[in-house]
Amino acid sequence: MVSWTAVYVLWLREMKRYARAKSRIIGSLMQPLFFLAFLGLGFNRMAVPGVQSGVSYIHFLVPGIIGMTLLFSSSMQGLSVLWDREFGFLKEIMVAPVSRVSIVLGRITGGTTTTMIQGVLVLLISMVMGFRLGSFHFFFLGLVFMVLIAFTFIGFGLIFASKMKDMQGFGIIINFIIFPLFFLSGALYPLKNLPLAIRVLSYADPLTYGIDGLRGCFINVASLPIALNLLIMAAFALIMLFLGTYFFEKSESV
């Protein structure tokens, strides 16, 4: 049975840690800012093959950079599990009279909230740099896509964190995996510019549907119907959250 008090306490703990880590907030925004500044502004006046006519490159790029921010931030949430295991906090909450599902939900809600804050901050920064929403009516649906991306890759991070005990090894392995996911997603360029074999791999990447959905919501340009992207992302999110919860329940606290 889920203890919502435990979920709230773990969520609040994550929010306090995030608010106190000013360097974490600033550092998480620097990489997206560099991409927007050097790629978005640098190629904004160029005709990029595959980008729909009338859509500037920075408008095409912003949903991809938001997706990148969510991907990196969500996947690295697993590091907090290893940190808590290293310093004994995980053992304390594991022996508490609450279900492990409650513990997982607390971590997921906390991680999703901090990840969403970073994604929204990137969106606001991009507006300062010239990005404009195509339609405000789909803005909240875009937020739903952002939540689904966060859920998917927080579950992904939990899977690896539950099977590993080395914080440095976790960072290396996660980076080794998420960079190909990022480049296969079409965040920086249209997927139709890729060779067929690589394009097939791209459609096995959950981030592909998340970013395409964000583009459909924010700039009214998408390769697939928004409803299809939403359905596929929801399926990925449920699967990854189930697997993340399963592996976390089987993990050891020490």
Give the model confidence (pLDDT) of 134-179 as tens digits.
Answer: 777 788 999 999 999 999 998 888 888 877 777 777 778 888 888 8
Tell me the chain's radius of gyration from C-alpha atoms: 18
Q: What is the number of residues in the chain?
A: 254
Amino acid in position 180: P
pLDDT digits (tens, 9 = 90+) for 56-81: 888 888 999 999 999 988 888 777 77
28 pLDDT exceeds 80? no
| Bigger pLDDT: 54 vs 87 | 54
Domain count, the chain: 1
**pLDDT averaged over every residue in the chain:** 83
For residues 46-57, give the mean pLDDT: 71
Q: How far apart are CA 181 and CA 68, in angstroms?
A: 9
Q: How far apart are CA 146 and CA 148, in angstroms?
A: 5
pLDDT digits (tens, 9 = 90+) for 203-239: 999 999 999 999 999 988 888 999 999 999 999 999 9
Q: How far apart are CA 28 and CA 118, in angstroms?
A: 7
- Global confidence as pTM: 0.89
44 pLDDT exceeds 60? yes
254 pLDDT exceeds 60? no
Structural domain span for residue 219: 4-250
9 pLDDT exceeds 70? yes
| Bigger pLDDT: 186 vs 167 | 186
Contact (CB, 8 A) for 15 and 114: yes
Q: Is 153 exposed, middle or buried (0-12, 13-18, 19+ CB in 10 A)?
A: buried
Q: How far is CA 8 from the centre of its chain?
A: 21
Q: How far apart are CA 191 and CA 64, in angstroms?
A: 12
193 pLDDT exceeds 70? yes
